[in-house]
Structure 1
């Protein structure tokens, strides 16, 4: 049975419905990441789980118990906010212990609990400092310690890393992942950063305009997006999506991409061929990740359908371990991810290897997946 269950959850502000029947479930010890653009409803959903926002319809259950009417203090959850919300006049140790003190936990027990958390987060040397003496990453670690010390059933994180610089975000992301692996507590984590979602989650929920678009493992959401929004939102660089004509040539279904001043690029659709049979003569949206378009020597040798074609090179972007190469297909800029030493030059031509095992196709009107 799921440990945290969100059942047909609805939130209304007056006549405006901002969450529209959300269904999610998280196993005990799972790491659920709520991801989506600003204003999609993910922080509102987190607040409803926490009890900071009322529920208009539906249910939230924790370990089988309905918590809709319970006060936040009775839900056995702990929350880490985007802002650190530390008491500036207290030391790190006092900030961490404050919640326990308010619950009447004896001083000796508080000190043991603080020492344990400080060891877990490797911040024993900071316990006597005030928040003004800490870096951003250290302050966020204290905020996490204040939540950890309570040993709750569920941790809620509301964009906890958004105030940190890029390098520190990566470091803290690793710290949170390590912490989860060590403690095994159920976590619900809100972010608009899909890289955070992919690296941290056991399950991802993608939201848009208050509607759950897709719920699954990171691999499911990344490799098998159910619609154009999920395909475009997840991944960096995002998925290449371009119009393509579905044709029949010599009794086989093919994908044709328009090119400026030259013949169409014709591709074997690979595993999607049978499902595209009903779309012959129509235009669909063809999606393929940058890493599925590469130089021939860098292509996946286990792929069943590799198609090598020469394309014009518009832009070359060296990125250290990779080289991003831009061409134009179907009237769109298409990004290929090649090896760092791939022999490509702007303005010239180069062989591109398409791994059509990774291709996906969408209806241009509904933007839903068709193959």
Structure 2
């Protein structure tokens, strides 16, 4: 296990800045997920940690040692690629042991480590097969085994599940989670899938256009996103973002929203002192779908739950729940309700807004207020 610090790291290709002053620090045993849309620079950052790509400026520090100029082989890092990168002419056993053999590890020790890793990943019966005889999930396990057998300081995963079908992705995600809990290893994991990020990470770094938008625990980035981009990127369905105005209301402050019919909806805000300077100014109200529900599902003793009758535009049953869509502030919003809540398209139904879960954003900067 190892700590990792990324200090003011920049990467440029000619005049094009791919990464801009990235600062990230994680402790021994952390599971850091780099997440963001395609082209945001997350795979480039992973390549620089591995030593496969040069850093333009800044420092990369592993266990207190700057490793910018160290060759990949000297960084004690193992990488699992999206494409598995297995040797097609070698058996599973030889694929796993190959790195150890190149390092001069005695055969008896190699065999012992391969046996241990194959049991851990449940690939013992596959050791004599060639990669072409394996399924996608099995190949990914072998690629993980090849990394695990080396016992490196840091594991790097580059979108390892993107080639798998949906069910297998969920299964492998669980296996990787169990593996991290068992080993306590330091892991840096790249994905564009925010559900993978939320379920696997102890720390999430959300990136956009080469800039780090937020670094925090899954709960922090979900509940208190730094800006509109993080709010909309993390969560499925994403956070509702509704144009509103902060108004004085009953010796406190509230968010005022409008419906398509021109009706006003006044929703009181917690921490009124925070928004005093925003009275009569436009804001963006952010609230997650699960914080808007039917009255029976709302927290009965929560003083920040407020009812409002809204017209149902669409219902989307998902089994245990139903997503109910309505329109506020000129925006379509999503509420998560019980499947038997009784919402009927074209009719009004009571919505319960949990304003304790609401956040406000500046519409100009799009940063959280």
Q: TM-score range by the shorter chain?
A: over 0.9
Asked whether the 8 Å contact 1:309–1:351 carries over to 2, the reply is yes
**1:197 aligned partner:** 197
**Residue 253 of structure 1: CA displacement?**
1.7
**Residue 252 of structure 1: CA displacement?**
3.1
**2:350 aligned partner:** 351
1:209-237, Cα deviation, whole Å (9 max, x unpaired): 11111111111110000110011100000
**1:127 aligned partner:** 127
1:242-253 map, 5 Å: 242-253=242-253
Work out whether 1:145 is the aligned partner of 2:129. Answer: no
**2:294 aligned partner:** 295
Distance in 2 separating the partners of 1:281 and 1:262: 18
Distance in 2 separating the partners of 1:272 and 1:41: 37
1:262-341 map, 5 Å: 262-269=262-269, 271-301=270-300, 303-341=302-340
**Residue 273 of structure 1: CA displacement?**
2.4
1:324-357, Cα deviation, whole Å (9 max, x unpaired): 0000001111000011221111111110000000
**1:81 aligned partner:** 81
**Residue 292 of structure 1: CA displacement?**
0.1
| Greater displacement, 259-268 / 136-145 | 259-268
Work out whether 1:45 is the aligned partner of 2:30. Answer: no
**1:35 aligned partner:** 35
Unpaired runs of 5+ in structure 2?
Answer: none
**1:22 aligned partner:** 22
Distance in 2 separating the partners of 1:304 and 1:206: 33
Q: Please provide the CA RMSD for this pair.
A: 1.1
**Residue 67 of structure 1: CA displacement?**
0.7
Aligned pair count? 368
Distance in 1 separating the partners of 2:191 and 2:106: 36
**Residue 272 of structure 1: CA displacement?**
3.8
**Residue 45 of structure 1: CA displacement?**
0.5
Asked whether the 8 Å contact 1:258–1:331 carries over to 2, the reply is yes
| Greater displacement, 325-334 / 99-108 | 99-108
| Greater displacement, 169-178 / 125-134 | 125-134
Distance in 1 separating the partners of 2:264 and 2:19: 44
Work out whether 1:224 is the aligned partner of 2:224. Answer: yes
**Residue 304 of structure 1: CA displacement?**
3.2
**Residue 133 of structure 1: CA displacement?**
1.1
**Residue 131 of structure 1: CA displacement?**
1.0
